[in-house]
Amino acid sequence: MPLHSVSVAGVVVRDDGRVLAIRRADNGTWEPPGGVLELDERPEDGAVREVLEETGVRVSVERLTGVYKNMTRGVVALVFRCRPVGGVERTSTESTAVEWLTPEEVEKWMGEVYAVRVLDALDASAPHVRAHDGRHLIETAPPQA
């Protein structure tokens, strides 16, 4: 039986609308901070931990904003909108840069599957559920009659 991996990410939104992002040390891509959920950890707690580990910023989780499945690798990502409540921005072994980006910079700097997570978190509508292949979104087929 194939196994799924669960990851969590925090889209941290400041009062001025800028969003916290990291440049990953392993591949140089810009993404919202996040990582693999521990076996004994609640998803919200994992998002708080990952943001703090990767950026030095302490956050409070507001709500789930999306569920994203990488169909190629079997990774399900739970993304939470968060607000900063303390800490100081710093890099880590996992990040070579930590920046507060505008939504326009998110669209320009991040790959499609990460930018959509951030933009979905900025959207006030219900949580989004999306599938992707690791690089691009996979459109869902219309229901069969």
Q: What is the mean pLDDT of residues 3-28?
A: 95
CB atoms within 10 A of CB 57: 22
Q: What is the mean pLDDT of residues 67-94?
A: 95
pLDDT at 102 over 90: yes
pLDDT of residue 139: 80
pLDDT tens-digit map of 105-134: 999 999 999 999 999 999 988 799 999 998
Q: Is residue 48 part of a domain?
A: yes
Q: Is residue 74 part of a domain?
A: yes
Q: Which has more pLDDT, 124 or 45?
A: 45
Residue numbers of the domain that contains 18: 5-86+93-138
Q: What is the rounded average pLDDT for all residues in the chain?
A: 93
pLDDT at 144 over 80: no
pLDDT at 1 over 80: no
pLDDT of residue 2: 65
Q: Is residue 122 part of a domain?
A: yes
Q: What is the mean pLDDT of residues 55-73?
A: 96
Q: Is residue 76 part of a domain?
A: yes
Provide the number of structural domains found in the chain: 1
Residue type at 111 in one-letter notation: G
Q: Is residue 145 part of a domain?
A: no
The CATH number for 23's domain is 3.90.79.10
Using CA atoms of 66, 56, 41, 106 in order, give the dihedral in degrees to the nearest 10: 10
Q: Is residue 69 part of a domain?
A: yes
pLDDT of residue 130: 92
Q: Is residue 124 part of a domain?
A: yes
CB atoms within 10 A of CB 116: 21
- Taking the alpha carbons at both ends of the chain, their separation in whole angstroms is 31
Q: Is residue 144 part of a domain?
A: no
Q: Which of 38, 34, 42, 43 lies closest to 92 in space, CA to CA? A: 34
pLDDT of residue 57: 98
